[in-house]
Structure 1
Amino acid sequence: MAVQPEGTPCWADAMFTDVEGAKSFYGAVLGWTFGEASTEFGNYTQAYADGKAVAAVVPPMPGQDGPSQWCLYFASPDAATTAGRIRDNGGEVLMEPMRVGDLGTMCLGRDPGGVVFGVWQAGEHEGFEAAPEQPGAFCWAEVFTREAEKSDAFFPAVFPAYTAQQMEDDGVDFRLFNIRETAVLGRMRMTEEFPPEIPAYINVYFTVADCDEAVAKATELGGVLRFGPMDTPFGRFAALSDPQGAHFSVLDTTTTEGEMPKLTDV
């Protein structure tokens, strides 16, 4: 798969204290298989769906112990330039651009509302290999934040190709970020329904052939159902947490219901 346009979600990984437990869980729920751990890069282990790279899991480095969470990476032609934009627009660079062998260059940032994300300047590793509609593949992501205005200003400033559309719904504050005519990222304002201890985060979605089956398997293995399953015009989805607390969602794009929401350019 070719290098994606700047600002396109291109990779996802998560840090787990119990890597073998994570591999067992996601293998059962999403059908992933796993490659050999790369000792050169902290036992970073890639996950595959039908032989195509879709994500990675890794144990925490010394001193990095904390709650497990998925990190979404956005494509950049120059990680150092993107890091500068993160700083210039009120964000924080948590990890300076770092070369990862011949694979590429990464950095980690945080938006002014607390959303942590990654930046990936591709080398030999260009990112996701599987198409979004393939079961087990990454297919969508949404920024969940209580400070929507900050994210709304920040992400288009960091990724200048973004244009934005607001969903016309008085009950939900939801925005789409597009590159050209393609939606690449959503932004949802967190309401009082979210417990205050849940920080702002990016929720990643993985494609499944059957949402209900995936939910049943996840909860059977110790995952927690947070929301759904629910039918939408985009597919049937559910929000989950894995046994180690990392939030993610599953989406069956073949099961759709209802009309697409109206969107207004902003």
Structure 2
Amino acid sequence: MTKLDSTQPHGTPTWIDLGVPDLDRAMEFYGAVFGWQFDVGPEAMGRYTMCLVDGREVAALMPNHDPDATEFWWNVYFATDDVNTTVSKAEAAGGHVVVPPMDVMDKGRMAMVKDPVGSQFGLWHGNRHVGCRLVNEPNALLRNDLVTPDPGPARDFYAQVFGFSLDSDEYLGDGDFTFLRRPDGHEIGGVLGDPGAAKSSWGTLFMVDDADATAARAREAGGTAAPPYDMVYGRVAEIEDPFGTPFSVGAPKYG
């Protein structure tokens, strides 16, 4: 297993969370789909609920108290060595601050930003909470990719803010996909240019043992799932939870 007990390198997707109108319903759904256990936080912390695999934090759920909210999404947070400095770089590169830098008790420091193409993401400098403590394993985070109809400004923005290098993917043929790599060469995700995308957004892909079985569990638990499909890297299914939150699951192809 890929177990993490310290903060990830700068620029790495390190944490994900989701705000929903019905926390109990969300726990019922994601528990059925992924087998997650849950540690529900106290009211003083907004019932911020840790999702666990083998006792390790893989994500969080929280109530969304906005009665007018109609759209929900998994937030991705990138690790940063210094939240304030990264926010300044994001603003200089054309980004917009949604939530300014703030301390989250003794857990860490965060901010929320929108890039120049309108996609929102978070920044996290971990203290007592380092982020995901299990990744790249079944029922945990595998990767995040940005889907946008305007990939050029997005590629430039993330390269400027995090120092990512940009590499094309020869295996996807004519698809407009660019790998984002940390300065040490580690791939942290990618940017997919999709002219048909209605908006720009970061997607979340969870690793599973069997994409077909996971999609079936999602339907049985009250979500929706498109038919799974094969791609060069494995078998993937696109799913929405009962609140319409999109995410993907993938069974990687090794060897």
TM score, norm. by length of structure 2: 0.92
Map 1:23-102; keep pairs closer than 5 Å: 23-62=27-66, 65-102=69-106
1:148 aligns with 2:151: yes
How far, CA to CA, are the matches of 1:72 and 1:148 in structure 2? 18
- For the residue of structure 2 that corresponds to 1:181, the secondary structure is coil
User: C-alpha offsets along residues 207-266 of structure 1, whole Å, 9 cap, x if unaligned?
Assistant: 11111100011122222224x41223322111111110111111112x459xxxxxxxxx
Provide closer, same or farther for how the CA distance between residues 81 and 126 of structure 1 changes in structure 2, counting only shifts above 3 A.
Answer: same
CA distance in 1, matches of 2:42, 2:208: 27
**Residue type at the aligned position of 2:242:** P
State whether structure 2 residue 194 is matched by structure 1 residue 190: yes
Which string of whole-angstrom CA distances, capped at 9 and with x for unpartnered residues, describes residues 37-65 of structure 1? 23232111110012110000011245783
- How far apart in 1 are the matches of 2:173 and 2:88? 36
| Distance apart, 1:186 and its partner CA | 1.3
How much does 1:131 deviate?
Answer: 3.2
Matched pairs, number: 249
Return closer, same or farther for 1:29/1:63 CA change in 2, 3 Å cut-off.
closer
8 Å CA contact 1:215–1:238 kept in 2: the answer is yes
1:15 aligns with 2:19: yes
Please point out which of 116, 121, 128 is paired with 1:117. Answer: 121
Equivalence for 1:213? 213
The answer as to whether partners of 1:148 and 1:188 remain within 8 angstroms in 2 is yes
Counterpart position of 1:237: 236
CA RMSD in angstroms comes to 1.7
Instruction: Name the residue aligned to 2:201.
Output: 201
* Pairing 1:223-234 to 2, within 5 Å after superposition: 223-226=223-226, 228-234=227-233
Structure 1: 5+ residue stretches without partners: 258-266
Asked if the contact 1:10/1:127 (under 8 Å) is kept, the reply is yes
- List runs of 5+ in structure 2 lacking aligned partners: none
- Choose from 159, 162, 168 the match for 1:159: 162
Residue 67 of structure 1: how far off its partner (Å): 1.2
**Alignment partners' CA distance in 1, 2:174 and 2:43:** 48
Partner Cα distance (2:44, 2:84) in 1: 23
Say yes or no: does 1:136 pair with 2:129.
Answer: no
Amino acid at match of 1:55: A
Runs of 4+ in 1 over 6 A off after TM superposition: none
